[in-house]
Amino acid sequence: MKQTTKNILGVAAIVLLSSGVAGITTYKMLKKERPAAFSELFEQNPGNLKLAAYNAVDAQPVDLTQAAENSVHAVVHIRAKQLAKTQTVQGGGGMPEDIFEFFFGGRGQQRQMQTQPRVGFGSGVIISKDGYIVTNNHVVEGADEITVKLNDNRELIGRIIGTDPSTDLALIKIEGDDFPTLPVGDSEALKVGEWVLAVGNPFNLNSTVTAGIVSAKARSIGGQASNGQGANIQSFIQTDAAINQGNSGGALVNARGELVGINAMLYSPTGAYSGYGFAIPTSMMTKVIADLKQFGTVQRALLGIKGSALDTDLQTDERWAEELKKKAEELGVKEGVIVAEVVDGGSAAGILKENDVIVSLDGKRISKFTDLQETLAKHRPGDKVKVKVVRNKKEQEFELTLKNEQGTTKVVKDAGMEILGAAFKPVSPEMKKQLNLGYGLEVTGVSGGKMADAGIRKGFIILKANNVQMKSVDDMENVMKAAVKSPDQVLFITGMFPSGKRASFAVDLTQE
């Protein structure tokens, strides 16, 4: 039975719940076993069979009507449209003159390509009376136009304030006041077995409410975002409340009518609901959205380690599971996150060591990697945290100061979210070494904006902007501001892709 469970978990598909362009469905076979008939079970063991309500005569059902009534008015329908664009691309149109260009690419020949308009649908949750709305990143990613439809059928234009692909969250804004809202609850207080509602717009059916229970917490499922990249921060609430495509960005609500999660994915062999859905907990959402509103990008704190949970239950590689079991016995601890490597210059450098097992962070028990991610997601660089580890079979506690990806505690600025529609970070030391670079800015995200119009995508490395070397986000911000004030209002970008191929773009900064 245990192996059967592993087989089932290994082949089920993760489906993003927004429909249209934002939705991605993977179809795979789900291994099934023929269930025994009721009569067969009864004949085998009649004494142990009872009706579900046999001992529940005095039990009172949970009244979810008030929670549902409050929720539907604060959950909106989102329509995200990507307009048709004309883009300049390399290649095509015959044999290049240079034989090296034929084999390796390069300048080549340019041609114009017309993209097709695309429309996607999803849901969102109003969290403030002045019109701030939380949704999934994959609902609005790449959108040029966003339309928000309220439960009273009003339609308003939405604009992106910030997005975070790592947690699949986004913050958008509609203009107005006195909008209905949902109070934000404490997802950490949720208990497995507690009743919850999933509220959203599956299949464009507005104001749909389904009920179920919390069936698991801190779940990691290895889902992929719509850009094909795996979400690298996962700690989902698992529920059996029915959710489908179009529910993305909708609300997971407790019986008190409080928002406890943002619906994001479903687990399915067919692409439609078949048992379980997953929501991003508000414990993670609250800090991410606050950062997007204040800074335009998430101030993410990293512990600066590489490691693995000492959890063998879900390991599909039996040899690796056996190695973890042996390591746990050797270290004298049954659960936690074992440190495989301490990153130079990171938060844990000089404090934690290889083979330390992290069992607690800020007083919260750490049994798997998702516990660690969820706790860190509530902190910003510069925060001090207490880490309890098992070292040489003894518990020790250390205090360390959290740092960001750049190894500092400084605020990371989002230089071009409003005008360029993109976010940047300095190229990592590993990438510099790999590509033999001395500097550069990596494009970490692109939403509807000037860079998307020019054809620049996530992952591109900017080396120069208007002939100025890009060594920091401040360099980009300064060059952009100067370009906006210039007569031609053009930003000339040169750089390269991670593959090593170089490219140039002209970003038109004129405002319509």
Q: Map tokens 């497995």 to a residue.
A: 192
Q: What is the DSSP letter of 509?
A: -
Residues 199/250, Cβ–Cβ less than 8 Å: yes
> CA separation (Å) from 27 to 94, 111, 445?
39, 35, 28
The alpha carbon of residue 268 and the mean position of all alpha carbons in its chain are separated, in whole angstroms, by: 19
Backbone angles phi, psi at 102, to 5 degrees: -65, -45
Strand partners, 224: 230
Distance CA 188, CA 260 (A): 9
- At residue 424, φ and ψ (nearest 5 deg) are -135, 160
- Residue 415 CB-density burial (10 A; 0-12 exposed, 13-18 middle, 19+ buried): buried
Say if CB 160 and CB 140 are below 8 A apart: yes
Of the chain, the end-to-end C-alpha distance in Å amounts to 62
Please tell me whether residue 425 adopts helix, strand or coil conformation: strand
Residues involved in catalysis: 138, 168, 248
